[in-house]
Amino acid sequence: MSYQVLARKWRPRKFAELVGQEHVVRALTNALDSGRMHHAYLFTGTRGVGKTTIARIFAKSLNCERGESADPCGECAVCTAVDAGRFVDLLEIDAASNTGVDDVREVIENAQYAPARGRFKVYLVDEVHMLSKPAFNALLKTLEEPPPHVKFLLATTDPQKLPVTVLSRCLRFNLKRLLPDQISGQMRHILGAEHIEYEDPAIVELARAADGSLRDGLSLLDQAIAYGGGSLKADDVRAMLGSVERGQVLGLLNALSAGDGQALLAEATRIASFSPDFGSVLDDLAASLHRIQLIQLVPGYRPESNDGEDSALVGLAEHLTAEDVQLYYQIAIAGRRDLTLAPDTRTGFEMVLLRMLAFRPSDDAVPAASGGQRSAPPQRPAPATPPAPAAAPIPPRSSLAPSHPATTREAAAPRVAEAGGLPDWEALIQRADLRGPLGQLAQNSALRGREGNTLVLALQPTHMHLAVEPMVSQIADRVSEVMGEPIRLRFIGDSQGAVHTPAARAASARSAAQSAAEASIEGDPLVQALKREFGARVVPNSIKPIES
């Protein structure tokens, strides 16, 4: 028999087996037991928290051969068919793949027919926000007045993209991100049932890496078991995740507390020897700073456990000022976001630490922590201030461009065959209301071709670093809305010639208008007479073209 992954094998089959969604389970249980059921339900939440699982359990509850109830038997032909994904009256539609109005029209036409086997025909539409606008419009009438034997169960990770007209016709349930303790508890239960040995710190690491998604956590658990050869050891999990022991972060904090740059760099080098994910190390650093701030500012707060790490955090809370902790936290989370912009992640990580060392609040006043007084930490030596250098002229912008184009996207500049009927990119930008950073990226791009549902956009090589997530996905979502179809974007660097972008055309038009305005003033007879008679001159940069 082939191996079944843990996320599928341990998928809840009853409401009682669900983890962390008690508020949704309670509402649905009461509705099923009282017979007061709505015709359309919307389940929202991040990936892997139980949206489609709840919908399938609800479908079993409606159609179980032993009667409608919140506790389906799980044994009858209907329940086993739903669990196996082959119940004829449960129609699962992946809206990410079936976005068009024709797909929805087929659903609507079939909805009028009675169920073939169960009491209700249940439509489960996953990622419903991916439907096109025409598809939503086609669905609205049926959502408003569905046949009595039809129930709609909609699931989405992005409810903001749903039309208000759809939201108003559904009962909405927001599923929560799971806490690390909830995920780790389920992992321990599964490992015990599977008779797999594990170290508890390994479970803690996996639960944190799951980021609120039980499905992601179980996928990582599968991967870790394979990595460890059938067992689960903390060191193996850290190596797999690219993380380090939380205790190693304390070395960084101790060096920062002492203002010791040499020790700080030594700790960073020691951590780098484990080849970690430096973003995760900054996450751990921010988490430790959060706990230190709680110790400092929340009266009576103490860490739940009494291990060495927590004792060390209490000691750091005594020596760091509250301002220090706030500053370090902000630098850590901002540096985490900017790691991809660094020459390499280790350099970016070290610069974040050095930034913490360089920008530090004054020690003149130390706030009280937990209702008590703390003595001020030792005065840090003030670095000598070198004399200010003479101001150097700022080089032109072109000389500041990097000497090598970015290669993280597609650095080559292949010519893409331009298909007939390409959309007007400038008009698309206006219709999609792309402004701010999104608008800047779009305005500096030129539409070169189309490959299926992918628009190919050209950028100057010096601008390729701008085409990063999540900006690219956000632009694609906006363009998909105005075009009425799912669109992807692919950026290429063009080093073979000028990229004729909306921004370049606008700049050219502004330059032409400016030149025309200056020529008009210079050629004005009155201006020429003033120059002759009184020695007047036109003030540079004072002429502006009339706004149309």
For the segment 328-387, what is each residue's pLDDT rounded down to a tens digit?
A: 999 999 999 999 899 999 999 999 999 998 886 544 444 433 433 344 444 444 444 344
Number of H helices, E strands in the chain: 22, 8
pLDDT at 414: 37
Distance CA 333, CA 325 (A): 12
The tokens describing 493, both together, are 């660097």
Residue 248 has pLDDT above 70, yes or no: yes
Q: What is the DSSP letter of 369?
A: B
Q: Cβ atoms within 10 A of the Cβ of 188, count?
A: 14
Residues 6+ apart with CB under 8 A from 114: 121, 149
What sign results for the dihedral spanned by CA atoms 231, 236, 237, 240?
negative
pLDDT at 208: 86
pLDDT at 512: 86
Among 181-185, 188-192, 292-296, 409-413, the range scoring the smallest mean pLDDT is 409-413
The predicted model gives 149-167 an average pLDDT of 91
Q: Residue 90 carries which side chain, given as an amino acid letter?
A: L
User: What are the structural domain ranges in the chain?
Assistant: 6-174, 180-241, 246-358, 425-500
Distance CA 374, CA 257 (A): 15
Per CATH, domain 6-174 is 3.40.50.1970: no
Q: Could you tell me if 206 and 77 are in contact, meaning their C-beta atoms sit under 8 angstroms apart?
A: no
Distance CA 271, CA 285 (A): 12
- CATH architecture of the domain 246-358 equals Up-down Bundle (1.20)
Q: Residue 412 carries which side chain, given as an amino acid letter?
A: A
pLDDT at 99: 64
pLDDT at 348: 94
Residue 26 has pLDDT above 90, yes or no: yes
Distance CA 430, CA 398 (A): 29
Among 109-123, 306-320, 353-367, the range scoring the smallest mean pLDDT is 353-367
Distance CA 316, CA 132 (A): 54
Residue % of the chain over a pLDDT of 70: 85
pLDDT higher at 472 or 411? 472
SS3 labels along 43-79 = EECCCCCCHHHHHHHHHHHHHCCCCCCCCCCCCCHHH
From the centroid of its chain, how far is CA 67?
42
Distance CA 358, CA 261 (A): 10
What is the DSSP track for 109-122?
Answer: HHHTSPPSSSS-EE
Write the pLDDT tens digit of every residue in 63-81: 999 988 899 998 999 999 9
Domain 425-500: which CATH number of 3.20.20.10, 3.40.630.30, 3.40.50.720, 3.30.300.150: 3.30.300.150
DSSP alpha helices (H): ranges in 168-307? 180-194, 200-209, 214-227, 234-241, 246-258, 261-272, 278-297
Q: Could you tell me if 317 and 250 are in contact, meaning their C-beta atoms sit under 8 angstroms apart?
A: no
Q: Cβ atoms within 10 A of the Cβ of 68, count?
A: 15
Q: What integer best gives the mean pLDDT of the chain? A: 82
pLDDT higher at 533 or 120? 120
pLDDT at 199: 92
What sign results for the dihedral spanned by CA atoms 182, 185, 191, 192?
negative
* pLDDT band with cut points at 50, 70 and 90 for residue 82: very high
Among 39-43, 187-191, 332-336, 527-531, the range scoring the smallest mean pLDDT is 527-531
What sign results for the dihedral spanned by CA atoms 224, 228, 229, 231?
negative
Residue 454 has pLDDT above 50, yes or no: yes
Integer CA distances (angstroms), 49 to 12, 29, 60, 209, in order: 11, 18, 19, 15
pLDDT at 367: 41
pLDDT higher at 257 or 307? 257
The tokens describing 269, both together, are 């080098």
Closest CA to 320 of 371, 383, 262, 366: 366
pLDDT at 206: 92
pLDDT at 495: 63
pLDDT at 184: 93
Residue whose pair of structure tokens reads 């009491």 in the numeric block: 119
Residue 494 has pLDDT above 80, yes or no: no
Residue 293 has pLDDT above 90, yes or no: yes
pLDDT higher at 516 or 302? 516
Distance CA 459, CA 498 (A): 9
Q: Sheet harboring 171-174: ordered strands across?
A: 90-94, 121-126, 150-156, 40-44, 171-174
Distance CA 229, CA 248 (A): 26
Q: Could you tell me if 303 and 291 are in contact, meaning their C-beta atoms sit under 8 angstroms apart?
A: yes
* pLDDT band with cut points at 50, 70 and 90 for residue 205: confident
pLDDT higher at 100 or 264? 264
Per CATH, domain 180-241 is 1.10.10.10: no
pLDDT higher at 236 or 464? 236
Residue 61 has pLDDT above 60, yes or no: yes
pLDDT at 375: 41
The tokens describing 218, both together, are 């179980």
Among 2-11, 395-404, 464-473, the range scoring the smallest mean pLDDT is 395-404
pLDDT at 378: 41
SS3 labels along 137-200 = HHHHHHHHCCCCCEEEEEEECCHHHCCHHHHCCCEEEECCCCCHHHHHHHHHHHHHHHCCCECH
* pLDDT band with cut points at 50, 70 and 90 for residue 526: confident
pLDDT at 308: 54
* pLDDT band with cut points at 50, 70 and 90 for residue 396: very low
Burial status of residue 398 (CB atoms within 10 A of its CB: 0-12, 13-18, 19 or more): exposed
Q: Residue 59 carries which side chain, given as an amino acid letter?
A: A
Residue 120 has pLDDT above 90, yes or no: yes
What is the SS3 assignment for 82?
helix
pLDDT at 409: 40
Answer yes or no: same fold for 246-358 and 425-500.
no
* pLDDT band with cut points at 50, 70 and 90 for residue 235: confident
